[in-house]
Chains A and B, each alone.
Chain A
Amino acid sequence: MSRSSQSVAHSVEVIDLNTHYGDRQILHNVSLEVKQGEIMVIMGGSGSGKTTLLNHLLGLMPPTSGTVRILDQDLGRLTPLERQKLRTRTGVAFQSGALFSSMSIGDNIALPLREHTDLDPTTIGIMTRLKLEVVSLAGFENLKPAELSGGMIKRAALARAIVMDPEVLFCDEPSAGLDPVVASSIDDLILRLRDAMGMSIVVVTHDLDSTFKIADRICVLDKGKVLALDTVEAIRASTDTRIQNLLNRRTEEAEPDPDAYLRRLLGDTSTPPDGTPRT
């Protein structure tokens, strides 16, 4: 896997990422790159390491080893000031929205503008309402997050994520916990955002329908390893049984190692199985 200097600018580049929680390795040599203007969906079952990977991409957690480059900047080598600058060029919509519950929706969306720009309040107001229009939440700016439905919170979170017109947008489980119709409207919104603003979008989800609808390419994570990284068509056509299991929502195979199974039953926890979710 030689990674010679490529001419294509990558919005996101992950190289040989390894992570541990304590002694347990969560991510194993994860590598992927997201091209400019691409929607990359990181897909995997629960416990596959999606959230962990996203936290690395967001610079919220340092990896054990490996490199994360966002907009051609190595997260591990940035000074705090450079990091702050980079963060104004990326947007994040968290799974639960993570809207500030003490502020109105309008104030939530205006916050990045207030903190990072010298715009006057009128302009900030206009830009805030503009983004609310984009996510079809016009007129809700004075409500508190607690007064919104789940789908509206996700929209508001998206509006806040794009208010600075980021070059890269990260979405954590954008359609989780929503009914199919609302979930599908969020997917449409993500597609629209990419088409209108040309941003690269990284979506983390376990939702298959949503994945196939919005993805340009899919990165399938399984037990902390990249199982496949390819276009939607190629993933669909894949003959790999693990991928097919995932796609057909078949539950995972039985215990491959009877010795390990016995050891676990006997309570010998000295050799925990790497990356296996504890349920």
Chain B
Amino acid sequence: MAGGLGVDKLTKMLDRLGRWAVAGVAEFGFGAALVGESVFWLAMGRKRRQPVRLGPVVAQAMEIGIGALPIVTVLSGTIGIMLAIQGVYSLKLFGAESRVTLGVAMSTVREFAPLITGILVAGRSGSALAARLGTMRINQEIDALTVMGVSPVRFLVVPALVAMMVMLPCLTLWADLVGLFTAGLYIAPQLGSTMGAYVNEVTSLVQMNDMLHGLAKSVIFSVLITIVGVVNGASVSGGAEGVGHMTTRSVVHAISAIVITDMIFVFMVTR
């Protein structure tokens, strides 16, 4: 009897695991299809008489970029100082603190600026996108677009995607600058050098390659944030409560996707 129960439980668990896996794969497929469809509308929209319009793209870009500027500035500045303090401290142990600029510059440009910016934008704009689409869905606005013959992907997803793909690298670039600058504010006096000398050192150390490494990641993050937001927003069911649930889920998923993708990217590119 107990054995029977155990098997029963196991079957149920496997069943749940199976469903969960199927749902996960379906969601992944939906995301991939969204990317494909977005590219299609970008390329073919005009021919189909459904062009992607610039107005909404600019509006979204403003909302994503300008809106995030203060918080990105504050956090990347803070992280610059933090990295500088830790760098000077740990390198002092080897008496190698003169090399601190290299470590700080590399970790800011290649890692921290894109990562922090991505996480911030996921929390700010990815969640907003999920909430907006979720609300539109339960309000039947998405259905309304569809039956009007207006593709919701073209009308809602593509502008957000393009705006995100432009603004996230821009914000990352800004975070690079701010982070490096604030790091210098700590490092220069510690090394008994000047801000001018620090800037010279940074510009000679940071290669184009390093900048591109960070920016390429931020482009990937921008796609992840948008698609995760859209997938979660489009899957909302069950009223306002459902919107809240999916919004939270979208932030958690987007940040997880960013961190994991970052690791994979670094593993593939840096070795």
Contacts and interface: CB of A to CB of B under 8 A. Distances in A.
A85 interface: yes
Contacts of A92: 144, 147-148
Contact of A111 (B146, B150, B151): B150
A81 B48 CA distance: 8
Interface residues of A, number: 23
B50 interface: yes
A60 interface: yes
B141 A111 contact: no
B196 interface: no
A91 to B, nearest CB: 8
B147 A60 contact: yes
Contacts of B149: 83-88, 112, 115-116
A146 to B, nearest CB: 11
Interface string A75-90: 0000001011111101
A96 B140 contact: yes
Contact of B140 (A85, A98, A112, A115): A98
A94 interface: yes
Contacts of A60: 143, 146-147
A131 B241 CA distance: 36
Contacts of A96: 139-140
B148 A115 contact: yes
Contacts of A115: 50, 148-150, 155
B49 interface: yes
A84 B141 contact: no
A209 B71 CA distance: 57
Nearest to B147: A92
B49 to A, nearest CB: 7
Interface in A168-196: none
A100 interface: yes
Contacts of B135: 101
B12 to A, nearest CB: 15
24 contacts: A58-B146, A60-B143, A60-B146, A60-B147, A81-B48, A84-B50, A86-B149, A87-B146, A87-B147, A88-B148, A92-B144, A92-B147, A94-B144, A98-B139, A98-B140, A98-B143, A100-B141, A101-B135, A101-B136, A112-B149, A112-B150, A115-B148, A115-B149, A116-B49
Given A60-B146, A98-B139, 13 more contacts: A60-B147, A84-B151, A86-B149, A87-B146, A92-B144, A92-B147, A94-B140, A94-B144, A98-B140, A100-B144, A112-B150, A115-B50, A115-B149
Interface of A: 58-60, 81, 83-88, 90, 92, 94-96, 98-101, 111-112, 115-116
Q: Which 10 A-B pairs have the closest CB atoms?
A: A87-B149, A98-B140, A98-B144, A84-B149, A92-B147, A94-B140, A115-B150, A58-B147, A88-B149, A98-B141
Interface of B: 48-50, 135-136, 139-141, 143-144, 146-151, 155
